[in-house]
Amino acid sequence: MMKRSLTCALVLALTALPAGAANLVKTYSYFAIGGRTLDDIETQLSKHGPQVKSTGSRHPGATQMAFTTRVSYAESPGSCRVADAIVTVRVKVILPEWRSSRKADADVKLFWNTLSADIKRHEERHVEIAKNHARQLEDALKASYPQKTCAEVKARAVQITAAELARHDQDQVRFDRVESVNFESRILRLLRYRLERIETGQLPPA
């Protein structure tokens, strides 16, 4: 589940900015959990997982993100247009780190390896969604029509940004909803796949 902390800052300047695609700045943070059984792990994740401000509930992983949009303008007599736009997405992926693996049974280790890999995949997909919308925001800003004044162009840039971030939020929520519905069947499928690979020697035992 994504812990959304979305901000959008428009830095409005008339100086030229270097051209480029949307930028991604990604960092990782880990929180420790203990426990030797599946019930222990579930309790630890519920107790120590990152908290979503909108719901107050805790989740096994999270992605915090912030969008920053830099727009430059080109002005001529009676006209102004967007000269360039660069969107940067800063994300922090928060993941669990299990500290009791050496004391746990093999079946618990197998489940944890499967679950933790799925948590990471889930959060990385949140990052991909954000990066895609950042790229779409850049394209939309660069394609916006010239206006008579730069004030009008800046106002339009704010509207474009707000609309794209709203679509981004909707896509993130939709992704979480689908993932939640399919969670149990997905984990069971992944467990079977790991077991098959262990039995055929393609993976070491947990």
Residue type, 62: A
Residue with tokens 């197998």: 110
| Residues of the chain above pLDDT 70, percent | 88
**Distance separating alpha carbons of residues 46 and 44, to the nearest angstrom:** 5
Alpha-carbon distance 145 to 140, whole Å? 10
Q: What type of residue sits at position 123?
A: E
Q: Which helix (H) or strand (E) holds 97?
A: strand 79-98
**Average pLDDT of the segment spanning 6-26:** 49
Q: What is the structure's pLDDT at 15?
A: 30
Which is it for strands 8-13 and 79-98: parallel, antiparallel or unpaired? unpaired
> Hey, is 34 helix, strand or coil?
coil
pLDDT in tens, 126-164: 999 999 999 999 999 999 999 999 999 999 999 999 999
8 Å CB contact between 71 and 142? no
* For helices 150-181 and 183-199, angle between their N-to-C axes, nearest 10 degrees: 70
Q: Which residue has the higher pLDDT, 196 or 90?
A: 90
* Candidate from 45-54, 68-77, 159-168, 194-203 with smallest mean pLDDT: 194-203
**Predicted pLDDT at 206:** 65
**8 Å CB contact between 74 and 83:** yes
Residue 194 has a CB neighbour count (10 Å cut-off) of 18
Residue 21 banded pLDDT, cuts 50, 70, 90: low
129 vs 206: which has the higher pLDDT: 129
Provide the pLDDT for residue 9. 31
Q: pLDDT tens digits for 25-68?
A: 999 999 999 999 999 999 999 999 998 776 778 899 999 999 99
